[in-house]
Each structure stands twice: as C-alpha cells, then as structure tokens.
Amino acid sequence: MTQDRLGKMLTREKAQGERAAIKRLLSALGFDSPKALTEFVTAQREAEQAALSELERREQAPVERELQAALRRAALVALGAEGDDLVDAERLLAVDDEAADEAQIQAAAEALRARRPELFGEVRTPVPAAPAGAPAGRGSTRTAPVSKPGSAGLEMAKRRGLVPEFSDSAAR
C-alpha cells in the first residue's frame, strides 16, 4: 500500500465520519436534512427581527449607518484620500444600496478614484493651451501684426488728421 493511496483512504474515511456525525446531530435535533435546519434557523432569525420593538429598530438604524459610513471611509482612506479631499470623496462616493457590502463599496471607491484622481493625492497633468489662446489641437485663427508700442494711437491720430503725414518719417 502506497502513501498516496493510504492518504486517500484516510481522507475518505474522515469525510464519511463527518457526514455520519452531522446526520446524528440533525436527527438528535429533530431535523431530517441540513436544508430543514437552515430553514428553521432562518425562520427563527426572521421571528426575532419581527419581535424587535420599534424602539430597538430605531436604535439599530444609526448603528448600521455608522457602520456603513466607517466602511466607506476606510475604503477611501485605503486608496489614499485624506483631509478635505476625504470629505469630498465621501460625498461623491455613490453606492446604490444603503446596505452595500464591502466589495460593492470598494468597487465604487475605485470607480471614484478613476474619475477623480486628484481626491486621492494623484495629480492630473493639465492639458497645455495652444499658442495664441486657440483651443487645443487647432492652430491660431488670428495673426496679430507685430507692432511697436503706441503705433495704434499714432495711426488713429493720422486718420483723424491730427498728425501730419511727414512727421511719420521723422519719428522713424
């Protein structure tokens, strides 16, 4: 008999013993199957919840909300949010279900991090503006003539006849 075969036999015997112990326990408790025990326990829990007074339910509601808030805050802190950014991230964290589990909260926090990385200490690189104030990706639509300071006022004065034409050549 090899070690591998002996190990398999012992594993099979152990599993068979566990099943026999579970059957004895179920029959001692008055149940014919594990499903019947599960249904009984579920019914008992529902009965206990229904038996809670309105006051007890009100007392449990804030505790549940605090637990949910703590889970959300922990998920955001784990991703790097802190300070005022943490407060902003908590307000932006969108979880559809009020009683969401940790996996749903973590997924929502990661989605928020993808949308708003600046809340988690990551810096977005700003898109550089195009030259001459044009939208990014397009060239300048206007070409400004290169002029000397004061040349616009001198040109206006010439048009109005306030400055004679010959003084222009003297100014240069």
Spatial distance between the Cα atoms of 119 and 121, rounded to a whole number of angstroms: 6
Closest CA to 105 of 83, 77, 131: 77
pTM exceeds 0.75, yes or no: no
Asked if residues 136 and 130 have their Cβ atoms less than 8 Å apart, the reply is yes
What is the mean pLDDT of the segment spanning 133-157? 71
CA dihedral 155, 160, 165, 171 (to 10 degrees): -40
pLDDT of residue 22: 86
Q: Where are the domains of the chain?
A: 10-51, 59-123
pLDDT of residue 167: 54
pLDDT of residue 60: 82
Least confident of 27-31, 59-63, 112-116, 146-150: 146-150
Matching residue, tokens 């599993």: 15
Q: Is 143 a residue whose pLDDT tops 80?
A: no
Asked if residues 119 and 88 have their Cβ atoms less than 8 Å apart, the reply is yes
